[in-house]
Structure 1
Amino acid sequence: MTAWQWVKVIGNFVNLSTLSGLFAGLLGRATFTRGPRGLIFANGYQLGFPIAGAFTIGNVVLSKHDRAYFGNAALVRHEERHSWQYFCLIGLPMLPLYVIGVVVSFLLTGDPASRNPFERLANLDDGGYVERPVQPIGRTVAQAFSGRRSRPKGQ
């Protein structure tokens, strides 16, 4: 790990976000393994929320998939960028801000990631997301009621 990655590891431990991620992994009966760049993989996460193939809390990347899911270096970079977002936002304030980003993105595009600033800063493509254009709110509402969703690749 680089010196800056150590700063992130320590910072996310102190700001309690990594501890919260470990707690979420325990609740979801995940198996923990050490990942690259100061990340901890929590695979086999069994709770149904959130729907994403992987999500990060602090330096903990939780996934319903097995460890092989993280063989994609771009996805690992994407999740590490989220861990930096926790560091920069001093931990858990990231969660409600991320939810606001999801809501705004969904209202603008019908997709929870396309205009979410946290996903954009983590690189949409690296996370397996397809960027959707801004659309009229009526189309978004119609999509919501028709059950059509866009999800990242691998789900």
Structure 2
Amino acid sequence: MTAAQKLKLVVNYVNLSTLAGFLIALIGRAKLSRGPRGLYYANGYRLGFPVAGAFTVGNVLLTKNDRAYLDARPVLVRHEERHSWQYFCLIGLPMLPLYVVAVAWSWARTGCPASRNPFERLAGLKDGNYTEHPPQPFGRTLQQTFSRKR
């Protein structure tokens, strides 16, 4: 682990984001293990929210999949590691409401929660297995959303 990664590990403990990640893993009945570069893996996460193949809170990378899934996807792990740096930069838990606002903004602009989400863009859309969608009129976003739910 580099000095910067050690600093991020310590700061994300102090800002409570990693502890929040551990709590979410506990509630989701995930199995914790050490990952690379100061990350922790929480595999077998059982809650259906958020709807994502993997997500990160502090230095904790949570997924419903097993460890082999993450070990086989180093690009995805790097994407999630970038999110752990975002917690570091935003002093921890303020990341969560800011991320929700970013999801809403992206959805309103494109009909996709990631395409115009600055957190996902900075972490690398492609690395997170996201497809970029172009901006569209808000009326079209509403129409697509409600036509999907029928």
Task: Report deviation, 1:46.
Answer: 0.5
Task: Report deviation, 1:67.
Answer: 1.0
What residue is the counterpart of 2:16 in the other structure? 16
Instruction: List per-residue Cα deviations over 1:59-115 (Å, max 9, x = no partner).
Output: 001111111221211101100000000000000000000000000000000000000
Q: Which runs of 5+ in 1 are unaligned?
A: 149-155
Matches of 2:147 and 2:34 in 1, distance apart? 41
Task: Report deviation, 1:134.
Answer: 0.2
Task: Report deviation, 1:45.
Answer: 0.4
What residue is the counterpart of 1:145 in the other structure? 146
Q: Which runs of 5+ in 2 are unaligned?
A: none
1:95 aligns with 2:72: no
TM-score using structure 2 length? 0.97
The one-letter code of the counterpart of 1:110 is G
Matches of 2:50 and 2:41 in 1, distance apart? 16
Aligned CA-pair RMSD:
0.8
Equivalence map 1:1-155=2 (5 Å):
1-70=1-70, 71-147=72-148
Q: Give the match's secondary structure for 1:101.
A: helix
Task: Report deviation, 1:127.
Answer: 0.3
Instruction: List per-residue Cα deviations over 1:100-143 (Å, max 9, x = no partner).
Output: 00000000000000000000000000000010000111110011
The one-letter code of the counterpart of 2:63 is S
Q: Give the match's secondary structure for 1:62.
A: strand
The one-letter code of the counterpart of 1:92 is L
Matches of 1:13 and 1:146 in 2, distance apart? 43
Please list every run of at least 4 consecutive aligned residues from structure 1 whose deviation after the TM superposition is greater than 3 angstroms: none
**Percent of aligned pairs with the same amino acid:** 67
Matches of 1:111 and 1:42 in 2, distance apart? 26
The one-letter code of the counterpart of 1:46 is R
Q: Give the match's secondary structure for 2:130.
A: coil
